[in-house]
Structure 1
Amino acid sequence: MDKIKIIVVDDHPMVIAGMAAMLLQIPYVVLSATAGNAFIALEKVREQAPDLVITDINMPEINGIEFTAKLKKEFPGVKVIGMSTFNERSYIAQMIHSGAEGFLVKSASKEEIEKAINSVLDGKMYLSLDVNLNTQERKDLKNQPMLTRREKEVLLLIADGLTSPQIAEKLFISLNTVDSHRKNLLAKFEVTNTALLVRSAIKSGLL
């Protein structure tokens, strides 16, 4: 069985050391690299081609939210788990909107880290047990559709009132591709028309 390759990103060496110690206890995981900021992290991802990146949210210059968006744009297949000492809904929602598949608080146990890794690699969203959300907020976040970068672009242009031909022209893609993205968006939000799509996206915090 191939080992799961992970990169850890945090500007505090003690946090990286602690996370490395936890990951070493999981036999099917290998810590491919560590990075102290987003710039180094992107270079490490290009070099190592990891399966998963675990990143701090509160970093200088480029924070974890911006880093996740950049990472997902260049490497959409790499899974991301955000981590922070804070567990406010706004942090979590922004990470999820940027493309992260999970969120951990830094005090998470080895067992929870392992559970989070397995969940996101199985295509599920993972939210830390210590996240300060009520049942409905947790449900809303977990049920939020996972959109590709292109789907997000199309969704924003739909919300701006552009027609499919206008979207095709603006994004330099074919009309068939736009229609395909529209159908995927309707299916992911489980709605039947554009008005309901926009309303659902607003409710989910994606617009």
Structure 2
Amino acid sequence: MNEVKPIKVVLIDNHPLVLDGLRAVLETFPHIEVVGTAGLALTGLEVAIKTNPAVVLIDINMPKLSGIEAIELFKAKLPDCRIVMLSMHDSREYISASVLHGASGYILKDVSTDEIVTAIETVAAGRTYFSSGVSDVLLERRPNEPANPLTTREHDVLTLLASGKSNREIAQSLSLSEATVETHRKNIKKKLGISTTAGLIRYAIDSGFSAADN
């Protein structure tokens, strides 16, 4: 029986208490291995290059180099590494900028330990994750929002996609086949002129889709 390898994680935060507390909590989970910590983004990059983690959790508001600015450096040096932003801010601008730069997740610092672990597991599996408070922001419609060119079903698919759902989960939620969901995704990309999933999520964030707007 093959032993499951733990998910290697690097933590980056310029607040020592937050860093130490998060590390102590995560180390109680046997399937997560904190392989390094850092108080600065560039120091964290050096640690990550040495340890090759599956996931990096990084605070947005960092001195010298912000977490958002650091994303592209991490993606350039460690293309397979998944980046999750840690933040006190649930602003649409921060979330949108993080996705645009290549982050796979965005979680608020006041979420439960279990949700942080879920975020790590989810992005390590190749998907995206937004914490509950962030999802609320994603699904808020801005006032005087212009109409979008998508059908109601495409709207539903994109809304769930922007909330971090996989094709399988979207299919289950909407009682569709995975093949149908994939067809909707292709049609959405074609209509919007967007070629990547990150681009679709950015569009959904900027457009303020709401699951109730059907």
Normalized against structure 1, the TM-score is what?
A: 0.69
Query: Which of the numbers 106, 117, 120 marks the counterpart of 1:117?
Result: 120
Question: Alpha carbon RMSD of aligned pairs, Å?
Answer: 2.9
**Cα distance, 1:14 vs structure 2:** 0.7
Correspondence 1:108 to 2:104: no
Name 2:28's counterpart in structure 1. Answer: 25
Query: Which of the numbers 117, 126, 139 marks the counterpart of 1:135?
Result: 139
Q: Distance in 2 between matches of 1:134 and 1:91?
A: 11
Contact map agreement 2:104 2:123 (CA 8 A) in 1: yes
Distance 1:188 1:16, change over 3 A: farther
Q: Once the two structures are aligned, what percentage of the paired residues are identical?
A: 30
Name 2:129's counterpart in structure 1. Answer: 126
Q: Distance in 2 between matches of 1:189 and 1:37?
A: 39
Distance 1:94 1:34, change over 3 A: same
The one-letter amino acid of 1:103's match is: Y
Provide, for residues 177-198 of structure 1, a one-character-per-residue CA deviation record: whole Å limited to 9, x for no partner: xxxxxxxxx9596317xxx526
Q: 5+ residue gaps in structure 2? A: 142-157, 165-184, 207-214
Q: Distance in 1 between matches of 2:50 and 2:195?
A: 41
Name 1:197's counterpart in structure 2. Answer: 193
Q: Distance in 1 between matches of 2:78 and 2:187?
A: 22
Larger RCO: Structure 1 or Structure 2 (Cα < 8 Å, ≥ 6 residues apart)? 2
Q: Distance in 1 between matches of 2:59 and 2:161?
A: 19
Q: Distance in 2 between matches of 1:44 and 1:141?
A: 32
Normalized against structure 2, the TM-score is what?
A: 0.67
**Cα distance, 1:199 vs structure 2:** 11
* SS, match of residue 58 in structure 2: strand
The count of residues paired between Structure 1 and Structure 2 equals 162
* SS, match of residue 84 in structure 2: strand
